[in-house]
């Protein structure tokens, strides 16, 4: 896979993560849970993040071990396989605590990467 390809995939992770933040801004947990549209949008984008993370080359994952590559994949698996049994408190915690850090990390990787090389 060319560097350009994995940079595009990292950008997909960034965009999906930013959509999640957008869908949940100005909300608290009590407002989030009963709001099916927001829950569905967040779960869809978490699935996308996890799916895309699976296609990031191992050499990139090794170069950036501080990024939660396995956790992204694992969250996707939970969302996909648990269907209606997804624990929204875990999802909310992920959105509030993990996504801001992930967004920052992905931006840093993209900033130091040259997609044309």
Q: Is 23 a catalytic residue?
A: no
In the set 30, 37, 66, 81, the catalytic residue is 81
Mean confidence (pLDDT) of the chain: 93
How confident is the model over 100-117, as pLDDT tens digits? 999 999 999 999 986 554
In the prediction, which pLDDT does 117 show? Answer: 44
In percent, how much of the chain has pLDDT > 70? 93
Q: Is 76 one of the catalytic residues? A: yes
Where in the chain are the domains? Answer: 3-110
* pLDDT tens sequence across 27-53: 999 999 999 999 999 999 999 999 999
* Helix ranges, 1-117 (H): 3-24, 29-32, 36-53, 58-63, 69-82, 88-93, 99-112
Q: What is the pTM of this model?
A: 0.91
């Amino acid at each position: 896979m060319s560097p350009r390809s994995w940079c595009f995939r990292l950008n997909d992770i960034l965009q999906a993560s930013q959509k999640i933040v957008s869908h949940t801004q100005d909300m608290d947990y009590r407002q989030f849970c009963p709001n099916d549209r927001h829950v569905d949008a967040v779960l869809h984008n978490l699935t996308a993040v996890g799916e895309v993370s699976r296609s990031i080359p191992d050499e990139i994952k090794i170069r950036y071990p501080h990024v939660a590559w396995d956790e992204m994949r694992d969250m996707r698996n939970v969302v996909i396989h648990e269907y209606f049994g997804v624990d929204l408190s875990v999802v909310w915690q992920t959105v509030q605590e993990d996504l801001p850090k992930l967004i920052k990390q992905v931006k840093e990787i993209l900033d130091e990467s040259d997609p044309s090389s």
